A and B are shown apart, each in its own frame.
Chain A
Amino acid sequence: MDSGVLETTERPQIAAAEPAESAPLEFREANGTWQLAPEWATFLIRFGYLWAQSAQTARRRIALISLPCDSAAAGLVTLGALKCRLEIPGANDRSAHFERIRSLAGSVGQTIDLYDQRLRGRKRGPYRLTGHFSSEMPWAKLVNGPDEDKVTISAETARFWQFALEPPVEILQGNRIPFGTFYAALPTPRSGLTITQNLAYSDSAICLAGCPAGDASTRRVMSELSFRLLTGEIACLADLLTIHGWQRQNVSRVAFLNVRNGTLDRSCSKPQIVIAYGEISFLDATNRFPFSDVVGVIDLSADRERLEAVSAAIASMAQWFSGDEHLAASMPVPPKGIAVALMKTQE
């Protein structure tokens, strides 16, 4: 939701970049064997975590991570950022969701459908927003229903209302995303913070811009990388990212931009952080989200034209940005084969 950038929540101080205690989490790539998360994967998860942890609203930041091959690296960075957001109290879409409903109710001619998750059958929806009963209570009218079939939506009841084709803002009946133990076990700096509360809510502050080949290809790459707990539970990266189109039934903590057709899976024109999978996605994201922090994850074995386009884009940005040496110093040293550039807008 639009509040992703402006939402002010309590942020923990940037944790020192010392490694976490040995994480009881195993890792496997497609057709590979289980092993402790390798250094490259650990680095990327921690990078995502620290990047999200150090987010500022005043200065835009751009990061570029180059790797020697195509991989699910963008997903790992996203996973680290997702965990960081889980640890921030109130880092979810709940208040932004109601603000969006109120705003849409005042718009003439909008045709966005909503559904009341509490109900079944015809009464579930779709509904359209048709104005305000009071400034704090928009009307929602049942589409194709009689005029009297309309209800008010309040700040308290907004969480029951789900926009068509978008994830619910909250899981009802006390359910939550079932991967809390996986997130807790990720090799990020120890923060001592709990992540359980946010597992019941959607969040749109982080956006993954998929690879140019589109949604299915991105999902396939993310599905080929899995984690296993010591208890034997297994989850693939695609599941852990909770992208709405890949799981449908649950809340979603990561928005997804399908770069192939330019569609975003929800209304969030200003995500706080965009992680771009590949050169084309990076170029797309830096233009599409001019107020968001963008992390580009590029593959050095990609075609030269693409890499040159990235170099040109970065060079043109350099007049507005300066190197973020402070953040670079707080980041872990990248393993051999990875290089990272961190920039922020000049003061």
Chain B
Amino acid sequence: MTSASSIFAFIESHPPLAIERFEFEMTEFRSVRRNLGAMAMLLRQSQDEAALDLAATVRRVLSEWLTVPVSFKTFIAEQLQSAVGPPKHIRARWGAEIGDLYADAIDGAVDLAGETNPLRQRLKEEIAEAVSGGEIVRIFCHSSAASHFQSFTPPNAFIHSPAWYRRCEPFDTLFKVGPLRSRGWGSVPDALISAPRYSRLALFVWEGCADEEGFGSDPVTTLAATGIGGIRSTRVVPAPRAVRIGVDLSGVSDDAPLMDELQFFSTFEPKADARNATLVQMDSEYGILFPPYSHVLSFDPAGDAHEPLSARLVDEDLREGMFLIRHIGHDVNGPEVHAEHGEFSRIWKAKLNEEFRHDRLALCDRLRKAGIELEHLETAVRHWCRPPTTVIHAPQKRSHFETLIRQLKIETAVPRWWQRAWKEIAASRGVAIVAGVEEREHMDHLLLASLGELLPEIRQMAGTANRHFVLSLHQDCRIGGTALFDRVELIETGFKAPDSELREVRELGGLGQWRA
């Protein structure tokens, strides 16, 4: 824990924060942005659920490109198509106007292939210069964006969440891609400006991407802005020094102002039943969204932990490095389920692996014809073949899973086999058995009491486990079943999601759509 004295000593001994804002222009990228932005705007005008979902997908792709140093040498056109779909499908489904915009965006993205992203290039140079000058540098980005920085960033330089920033020792330079916004993709805490722990902020933004108005506010200075007296403060918010960097690949002038997409996307209304949520990320692939003030069972492996096993408030007490505990018990209507090597998953995964190895193309073709219309079906099937980790990897939709099992032609005498196998998957994802609050609290109480008796064993397993371990609750325990322990990698606020998305293990890629 960073001491208050060290932070105050840093503030006292350093000059006021300096902000450098590198702003980039690139005609081809501007064209891609303009087309995708217009497409999202048109789709948002529809009340159709599918149109809104597609707008959300465009938002996700474009937001990512604007807030990470994406390499144009990788094929961003392919990335766009894999997320949104083939141009002919889009034209057929959404008409000529949207189809044309999308086709132009794809063309622009194809033109960018192989070009150097000037933002990425300058960021690399600035980081290299700072590091060679002996500076301690940090990069603020979401964990899912880290891969875009890793090739040119010192290890352990990342800050992924406000909580992470709070724990930081003072350092020299902070690098950030994308404007200063408190919500949405590339969001950062106001404390970067109101409570800086560094001397210099280097911002790398594309043209037209403005910082959020009022970003970095302090309730005290906000009050001062209303004209009320009685304020004592020596805080000064510096004006950024802007550096404009333009690259025109085509030579075609395009002076029309660009829409600020991130500002536009911030106006996307969350779904009607959406509510605030906090993401607890368990590994590089999965996480769970919890509503505010949720109590979660957790284990603190720290030797001096006051209560190693406890129901902790997600937003207050749970910390990165602790283990989230999920209980998989007996289902009165089905089999006992285990997330690791479950009775059913062993069988269908073995069969799936066998068929995938034998002829993956034929298998994918069969599945597609049977109704599993996923853009990257082969990748998805490869993913489903993997042994269980945090969850049993399987199709997200029940109907897809039913189709998969039917196509695998698993012979078994067990009635309602695929339904039971689906229950096993659902349980591993934490799909709650319908129970009242009181009953759940009672179950949690029993589980904590049972785990308390197994504390030495849990400590030992946590000491050797990297991220995940499973504890079977034996017959002497007050509650049966299995306890799954997943190390908390990251806790992140700033999501708004419908109830159906809460408290269940989900893939991180899909959770990105719920960033508020």
Contacts and interface: CB of A to CB of B under 8 A. Distances in A.
Q: Which of B9, B229, B234, B276: most chain A Cβ within 10 A?
A: B229
B224 A301 contact: no
Nearest to B188: A304
Contact of A324 (B5, B12, B230): B230
A138 B166 CA distance: 55
Nearest to B292: A305
Given A69-B166, A334-B233, A339-B221, A300 B195 contact: yes
B195 A341 contact: no
B493 to A, nearest CB: 5
Interface string B222-256: 11101011111111000000000000000000000
Contacts of A70: 4, 166
Contacts of A193: none
Contacts of B217: 307, 311
A322 B174 CA distance: 39
A29 B4 contact: yes
B316 to A, nearest CB: 4
A314 interface: yes
Given A40-B5, A300-B190, A333 B11 contact: no
A323 B223 CA distance: 10
Contact of A68 (B3, B11, B229): B11
B232 A328 contact: yes
B191 interface: yes
A328 B229 contact: yes
Given A217-B317, A303-B493, A307-B219, A69 B4 contact: yes
B31 to A, nearest CB: 34
Given A304-B190, A310-B219, A314-B223, A38 B5 contact: yes
A300 B165 CA distance: 12
B234 A311 contact: no
Nearest to A71: B4
Contacts of A299: 195
B234 A336 contact: yes
Given A32-B3, A39-B8, A216 B306 contact: yes
B5 A68 contact: no
A6 interface: no
A299 B315 CA distance: 15
Given A303-B162, A318-B228, A64 B220 contact: yes
B228 A337 contact: no
A327 B234 contact: no
A299 B313 CA distance: 19
Interface string A334-347: 11111111110000
B2 interface: yes
Interface string A14-48: 00000000000000011110010011110000000
B252 to A, nearest CB: 41
A68 B191 contact: yes
Contacts of B197: 68
B226 to A, nearest CB: 6
B414 interface: no
Q: Which of A31, A304, A311, A338: most chain B Cβ within 10 A?
A: A304
Nearest to B222: A311
B229 A301 contact: no
Contact of A69 (B7, B182, B223, B234): B7
A315 interface: yes
B313 A213 contact: yes
B230 A342 contact: yes
Contacts of B229: 322-325, 328
Interface residues of B, number: 46
Interface in B444-501: 493
B6 to A, nearest CB: 8
A222 interface: no
B8 A335 contact: yes
A73 interface: yes
B191 A341 contact: no
B44 to A, nearest CB: 25
A304 B224 CA distance: 19
A335 B12 contact: yes
Contact of B219 (A64, A322, A337): A64
A88 interface: no
A29 B313 contact: no
Contacts of B234: 333-336, 338-339
Contact of A213 (B224, B233, B276, B317): B317
Contacts of B1: 30
Contacts of A325: 229-230
Contact of B224 (A41, A73, A220, A341): A341
Contact of B232 (A32, A305, A310, A340): A340
B194 A300 contact: yes
Nearest to B316: A213
A4 interface: no
Interface string B158-191: 0000100110000000000000001100000111
A212 interface: yes
Contact of A298 (B183, B219, B233, B317): B219
Contacts of B316: 212-213, 217
Nearest to B13: A336
B162 A301 contact: yes
B378 interface: no
B104 interface: no
A48 B442 CA distance: 44
A27 B123 CA distance: 42
A271 to B, nearest CB: 22
Contacts of B196: 68
Contacts of A258: none
Interface string A289-302: 00000000011111
B218 interface: yes
A53 interface: no
Contact of B231 (A69, A302, A303, A341): A341
Contact of B223 (A307, A324, A341): A341
Contact of A315 (B3, B191, B226): B226
Interface string A178-212: 00000000000000000000000000000000001
Contacts of A220: 306
A137 B391 CA distance: 70
A331 interface: yes
A29 B2 CA distance: 10
Nearest to B11: A337
A92 interface: no
Q: Which of A69, A73, A213: most chain B Cβ within 10 A?
A: A69
Contacts of A310: 219
Nearest to A68: B195
A66 interface: yes
A342 B233 CA distance: 11
Interface string A55-77: 00000000011111111110000
Contact of B4 (A40, A314, A339): A40
A203 B191 CA distance: 37
A73 B7 CA distance: 13
Interface in B1-44: 1-5, 7-9, 11-12
12 contacts: A29-B4, A29-B5, A64-B219, A68-B7, A69-B2, A69-B166, A301-B166, A303-B315, A314-B223, A315-B222, A340-B220, A341-B228
Given A324-B229, A337-B11, 5 more contacts: A39-B12, A73-B4, A213-B317, A301-B165, A311-B219
Interface of A: 29-32, 35, 38-41, 64-73, 212-213, 216-217, 220, 298-305, 307, 310-311, 314-315, 318, 321-325, 327-328, 331, 333-343
List of 10 A-B pairs having minimum Cβ-Cβ separation, nearest first: A323-B230, A323-B229, A68-B195, A339-B233, A71-B4, A301-B191, A300-B195, A342-B230, A339-B220, A29-B3
